[in-house]
Amino acid sequence: MQKRILLVEDEKTLAKALKFSLEKEGFRVDVAYDGEEALQVFSRNEPDLIILDLMLPKIDGFEVCREIRRKSDLPVIMLTARDEDIDKILGLELGADDYMTKPFNTRELLARIRAILRRTGQGAAAGKKKITLGDLEIDLIKQKVVIKGREVSLTSKQYALLSFLASNPGRVYSREQLLEEVWGYDYESDLRTVDVHIRHLREKIEERPADPRYILTVWGAGYKFREV
């Protein structure tokens, strides 16, 4: 699954260069140029990681980080121009995962991003470690799916699809959106790919695949994971 990064940086030239490098590495990047925009994009797009500049117009990086931490444990890498901010950044109050002091090496930043995303594990970036619904249990750290105490073996795409839908319960996704989010295709592709994966997934996790409890079909719209 393509990871989504929210880049918050008011220096347009730096933001542009970073976006370019991150996209080249296969990340999906949203850019916000001030703190207010950052919080808006954060709640709209549910990123996997945030790169957050400290000195920002409107709402500064400290306040943005505090606001984000109120809602989520998702990884935050702070960009700072001053060494003396580091204690505060990494301290309990803000709890950023890492920081880079400007000017920094983009390659170094990429290495840190990868390390953090590896640590948080796929799908677990939003701060959740486990999703449980009825007899179904998804361990987002170990990437294991258990039904009635028995582990179910899924292919990596089946797992990616299930954990994506289950991480966003009740939200309806069209097949196009699922292709984009789970497969990373943002072009017209064979939508039956999604249907076939959903079918196989249901055969594995649903007691009665024809009358599913977990992954529901929304006619004319797409699929959604049942809300608790």
Q: Provide the binding-site residues for Ca ion, judged by CB under 5 A.
A: 10, 53, 55
Minimal distance, residue 53 CB to Ca ion, in Å: 4
Residues 6+ apart with CB under 8 A from 161: 178, 182, 194, 197, 198, 201
Determine the Cα–Cα distance for residues 82 and 226; give it in Å rounded to an integer: 47
* Closer residue to Ca ion in complex, CB, 12/192: 12
Minimal distance, residue 61 CB to Ca ion, in Å: 8
Give the DSSP letter string of 110-138. Answer: HHHHHHHHHHH-TTGGGS--EEEETTEEE
* Closer residue to Ca ion in complex, CB, 16/171: 16
Minimal distance, residue 56 CB to Ca ion, in Å: 6
For residue 52, give Cα distances in angstroms to 48, 122, 128, 193, 197.
13, 21, 21, 36, 36
Give the DSSP letter string of 93-109. Answer: TT--SEEEESS--HHHH
Give the other-Cβ count within 10 Å of 115's Cβ.
13
User: Residue type for 204, please?
Assistant: K
Minimal distance, residue 55 CB to Ca ion, in Å: 4
Residues 6+ apart with CB under 8 A from 126: 46, 48, 72, 73, 74, 167
* Closer residue to Ca ion in complex, CB, 34/181: 34
* Closer residue to Ca ion in complex, CB, 83/188: 83
Position with the least CB separation from Ca ion: 55
Give the other-Cβ count within 10 Å of 174's Cβ.
15
Minimal distance, residue 102 CB to Ca ion, in Å: 9
* Closer residue to Ca ion in complex, CB, 55/59: 55
Minimal distance, residue 60 CB to Ca ion, in Å: 9
* Closer residue to Ca ion in complex, CB, 31/165: 31
